A and B are shown apart, each in its own frame.
Chain A
Amino acid sequence: MNLRTLIILTTLSIMIAPAGAAQSAREIVDRVDQLLRGRSSRGAFRMEIVTEHWDRTLEMRAWSLGTEYSLIRILAPNRDAGTATLKAGNDIWNYLPRVDRTIKLPPSLMGGAWMGSHFTNDDLVKESRIIDDYDIEIGFEGDRDGTEVWEFVLTPKPEAAVIWGRIVEQVRKDDLMPEWARYYDEDGELARSVTFSDFRVMGGRLVPAVMTMQPADKPEESTTIRYTDLEFDVDVDENFFSLRRLRSAQ
């Protein structure tokens, strides 16, 4: 999971000036969406995957540049160490250190699970702006559990090539931090939900350092991402995101 994906998934996860009352839901989401797309980023995180059959923790390092480029490398455990995923444009490549080969993922597998987690390759590669694909409305505005929040309802535009039938997100008004997002399928059934927590300043910005993805049909399973290090606007360019870099240990 790279930083840009975090951005896409959370939509709103950076401190900006509180939005004015006159702003529309679309303007709020778009403004935050744009602010989140830092020119580049670098970070480290831990992915804790809990399934019915096994639990495992992956430690990773990630880099991103705009919406087009990202690189994620697994550092631990040993069996997967060195495995890396590169996104360049619309292509996704995986490096498999065990066989010292790279494979290019076909578009048909975008919905497949990424590294056994509950995140998909599509989560990783999606690059369009939220406002391009969704109509955004405020579903609720007011006090919930003592916190002033907005509940945004994102409905896909007719021509949008997206897999969700609806996304509902709750965002705190005072610092624009997301609290949760729920993803519904085309039949209106809840498919998965993401909760955000441990809001803290990392890389000079307020972000949710922990987010947990839970599939609706397997409530006992989850994937939790914990950021341990995060930097924005770091010095990486397009050449950094190469197949050669994908294969290298650094």
Chain B
Amino acid sequence: MTASALAFGYFAVVVMVGLFEGMIADMINNGTGLVMGQIQVHSPDYLSDRSIYATMGEAEGDVAALISEIEEDPAIIAAAPRVFGGGLASSGTSTFPAILLGIDPEREPLVSRIANVSSGRLPRAGAYEVVAGAELMRRLNVSLGSELVLVAPAADGSLGNDLFTIVGQFNSGIPEIDGSYVLMAIDDLQVMLALAPGRIHEVVAHIDDPWDAPPTAARLEESLREVSISVSVEPWTSLRPELVDYAKLAAGSQWILIVIVFSMAVFGVANTMIMATFERRHEFALLLALGAAPSGIVRSVVAEAVSLGLVSLAGAVAVTVPTLIWLHYSPLDLTSIFGGFSMVGTFVNPVFRAEYPWGTMLGSAVALFMTALVSALYPAIRAANVSPATTLADR
């Protein structure tokens, strides 16, 4: 019973931490993968006020050269150029503010999920087609095939405006994004904003492990500077520091969980050991009467506790590891019960996928042994100090 309590404590801590780490990983993945990307490249003065004039590149071909340089970095899986415009989307008597995002329809799906249309298809260059967020389309009361008037201040001071056809819809689950973004081919937006074809606002780069973004960004900025391209390269950790803070907070809270669970286990195991040694006091008294050293009694009880820890750990690992593997590959999907929600500006699905918390597994194993040892020490000392004469006389 005591062994199973310890094993359950280990199981509970490791699985909960695994699920927690899975949730944080999903949150970072959603936060960086939807629009922002893991690494962004801009003109050095773009991020301060996102001015339409703070562009990279001048001549046609500059964009391709920049993308090529960025993809030279071994950590970069893909990179995609973007142009931004702030304007209005209008249909009938409805008009709403919109963020106009010019994308390369072939590259954008490699760096973000905003181009993953839930219905329809991506826009073609030169065809004046757009993909709009589901919430914006609902507000404008439009559907696939509808026409959309887009208006935005152009770089030459004129009022850029054009008529587009909606050919696709995306539904990220984040109302702020679904209610404001309109995607179109980068060339079409450059024409509307009176920007030369070589001028873009952003390149988004995708890497395999989001936590590798800071060193990759620093390396990329340096390598671009070496080929005389002066840009600012930002990892997601500096663009969305609150996500990093949340991940750190979650990691810190794991230790609280470990302390609580194993503190409870200490008292449980100590209680069991005290009861067990009390019931065996005649045995210890007899051993002492026969000349056994008190330290030998302590070693005996502690050895039992270590055995208990080993059995508990073996049982715990035997149950925990398969559970983690199962939850990693077949996560618990509670979407049908709870639906999705947004947290720290990112969309969170109630899908409980576990990561493998190796550090916690090791730490919990140590904690399990320490629990067994610490909780056995006091009963062991008590057992070593029983009075043989009094105990054997049953007084």
Contacts and interface: CB of A to CB of B under 8 A. Distances in A.
Mutual binders A and B: yes
B159 A54 contact: no
Contact of B149 (A53, A99, A116): A99
Contacts, number: 54
Contacts of A108: 97
A116 B88 contact: no
Interface in B71-122: 88, 90, 93-97
Interface string A90-132: 0000101011010111101100010110000000000000000
B157 to A, nearest CB: 4
B90 A104 contact: yes
Interface in B9-66: 53
Interface core residue of B88, B94, B153 (most chain A CB under 10 Å): B88
Contacts of A116: 153, 157-159
B158 A79 contact: yes
Given A53-B53, A101-B163, A108-B97, A96 B157 contact: no
The interface size bin for chain B is: 10 to 19
A83 B158 CA distance: 11
B333 interface: no
B162 interface: yes
B153 A101 contact: no
Nearest to B156: A54
Nearest to B86: A112
B149 A49 contact: no
A67 to B, nearest CB: 23
A15 B159 CA distance: 37
A51 interface: yes
A80 interface: yes
B162 A98 contact: yes
12 contacts: A51-B157, A80-B158, A80-B159, A96-B151, A96-B161, A98-B161, A101-B90, A101-B149, A101-B163, A104-B95, A105-B95, A113-B153
Q: Which 6 A-B pairs have CB atoms at the shortest separation, nearest pair first? A: A103-B90, A99-B163, A54-B157, A56-B157, A96-B161, A116-B157
Interface of A: 49, 51, 53-56, 79-80, 83, 94, 96, 98-99, 101, 103-106, 108-109, 113, 115-116
Given A79-B158, A96-B149, A96-B159, 10 more contacts: A54-B155, A83-B159, A94-B151, A96-B161, A101-B90, A101-B163, A103-B88, A103-B95, A103-B149, A104-B95
